[in-house]
Amino acid sequence: MPVADEALLRTLSPVVIGILVRRGAAFAAAEDAVQEALVEAVRRWPDDLPQDPKGWLITVAWRKFLDASRAETSRRRREEVVEDEPAAMVGTAVDDTLQLYFLCAHPSLSSTSAVALTLRAVGGLTTRQIAQAYLVPEATMAQRISRAKKTVSGVGLDQPGDVATVLRVLYLVFNEGYSGDVDLAAEAIRLTRQLAASIDHEEVAGLLALMLLHHARRAARTGADGRLVPLAEQDRGRWDTGLIAEGVDVLQAVLPRDRLGEYQAQAAIAALHADAQTAEETDWVQIVEWYDELVRLTGSPVAMLNRAVAVGEADGARAGLAALGSLDPSLPRYTAVAAYLHERDGDAVTAAKLYVEAAALAHSVAERDHLTRQAARLHAQQGRSSASGST
């Protein structure tokens, strides 16, 4: 199926689920029926794209729902399903989509379950695609989704939801990046755009801006050999200026409203990086101020750690190390930050030792390799300087 058709199909998923629910289907049954219809569309549309894709999907999904209901009804020897299509329709497709976001990120779900359910029901991905993206067996993902649906079965689509939990789920999807043939980062952006179209909320815009600004740097983040390229060393010519401009626009539209949140603050930091033509031109003083806001908003130790890096750039490595000194050394990436700041402070011996320690603590291969290379670089320099010192 052409990519455009698949994107269209996936956009229709939450809309059609909403329509089935308004016709009287329970969410779990509606979601199953739409998933089956999507699978059929993936099979049939490439040869025979319907004139009215949305109408086609509604018809097929409704038929799937009725088939499943009849099977269920006869199994239970009961006949209480209404088969005719109710005419009464309240609400709009936009509301339905928003309500579906709330339901799939319901606080009763674990983050793992909420992510899976959101990608399937709102994102219209198949169970197989989600399983591949998260590298688990399809049966495992099917169980995860089915349990998630059971968990929220008592929650109506009309109940008020919390935008913060939805944003958390989308943030997690985005941060997972790219694995398998599903581009989770692009999918997260699509879902956040769709959410932004459903609700006017500063933090939704903030998260969208944050994603766009980071996505803009994706090509530059990885070297040809797959290695991580740190921000300061990235070829800024490879940054996607279109995405940066869009991210900055989205952010600038909401910042003046003065309803700051963690995503807007993070997006502001990303925008300041994007604004610098070279790493040296980065406005670290402003970045530190935004980290102060972020720490004030979240109290997050990770934000404090990143703040220490920014302080190191704005006020010198000593100041950065002082900021680091008040933090818990067991924080993820603490040792890597300490190594970096010690090197900036001119203490290559301590830095090399810390880079080796940080590599042993890394939780991704790319980070481990990056830190090991840093240690190797310093060791090689030390080897050269001690060799020249002895002659």
Partner 1 sequence: MAKYLLLKHYRGAPAPTNDVPMDQWTPDEWTAHVQYMQDFATKLEGTGEFVDGQALAQEGSWVRYDGEGRPPVTDGPFAETKDLIAGWMVIDVDSYERAVELAGELSAAPGKDGEPIGEWLEVRPFMGEPSTITE
| Residues near partner 1, by CB under 8 A | 110-113, 115-116, 134-137, 139-147, 171-172, 174-179, 185, 210, 214-215, 218, 228, 231, 266, 269-270, 273, 306, 309, 362-368
Q: Which is nearer to partner 1, 21 or 205 (CB)?
A: 205
CB of 24 to partner 1, least distance (A): 29
User: Encoding tokens for residue 147?
Assistant: 């349990």
CB of 112 to partner 1, least distance (A): 5
CB 253 within 8 A of CB 212: no
In whole angstroms, give the CA distance from residue 24 to residue 138.
29
Q: Which is nearer to partner 1, 100 or 207 (CB)?
A: 207
Q: Which is nearer to partner 1, 97 or 234 (CB)?
A: 234
CB of 140 to partner 1, least distance (A): 5
User: Encoding tokens for residue 276?
Assistant: 């610098």
CB 138 within 8 A of CB 131: yes
Task: Compute the half-sphere exposure of residue 385: CA atoms within 13 Å on the CB side of its CA.
Answer: 7
In whole angstroms, give the CA distance from residue 203 to residue 68.
40
Q: Which is nearer to partner 1, 141 or 260 (CB)?
A: 141
In whole angstroms, give the CA distance from residue 114 to residue 149.
10
Q: Which is nearer to partner 1, 64 or 144 (CB)?
A: 144
DSSP 3-state assignment of 78?
A: coil
Q: Which is nearer to partner 1, 140 or 252 (CB)?
A: 140
CB of 177 to partner 1, least distance (A): 5
Q: Could you tell me which of 159, 154, 164 has the C-alpha nearest to residue 203?
A: 164
- Angle, CA 266 vertex, CA 241 and CA 109 arms, to 5°: 115
CB of 349 to partner 1, least distance (A): 26
CB of 323 to partner 1, least distance (A): 15
CB 91 within 8 A of CB 22: yes
